[in-house]
Chains A and B, each alone.
Chain A
Amino acid sequence: MAPKIGVYICHCGSNIAGIVDCSKVSDFARALPNVAVARDYKYMCSDPGQNLIKDDIKKLGLNRVVVASCSPRMHEPTFRRACQDAGLNQYLFEMANIREQCSWVHTDKEMATEKAKALVAAAVKRVALHEPLETKEVSMNANTLVIGGGVAGIQAALEIADSGHKVYLLEKDASIGGHMAMFDKTFPTLDCAACILTPKMTTVGQHRNIELLANSEITELSGYVGNFKAKIKKKARYIDMVKCTGCGRCSELCPTSIPNEFDCGLGKRKAIYIPSPYAVPNKAIIDAKNCRHLKGKAEGKADVCRLCQKGIPNRNQPGCEAEAIDFNQQDEIVEIEIGNIIVATGFQQFDPTKIYQLGYGRLNNVFTGLEFERLTNASGPTNGKVLLKDGSEPKAVAILHCIGSRDTNYHKYCSRVCCMYSLKFAHLLREKLPDTAVYQLYIDMRCAGSGYEEFYERLQEEGVNFIRGKAGEVTDLTETPEEKGKLVVMVEDTLVRRKRRLPVDMVILSCALEPRPDTEQLARILTLSRKADGFLLEKHPKLDPVATTTDGIYIVGACQSPKDIPDTVAQASAAAARVLALISKGKVEIEAAIAYIDEDKCAGCKICIDMCPYKAISFDEVKKVCRVNEALCKGCGTCVAACPAGAIKGRHFTTEEIMAEIEGVMA
Chain B
Amino acid sequence: MNEKNIKALEPAESAMGGKIDYDEVRKLVGLLEEKNLSVFELEVEGLKIKIARNSPGAAPLMAAAPAVSAAPETPEAAAAAEARAQAIEAAKGHHLITSPMVGTFYRAPDPTSAPFVDIGDTVKKGQTLCIIEAMKLMNEIEADVDGTIVEIYAENAKPVEYGQKLFAILPVS
Partners in one complex: no
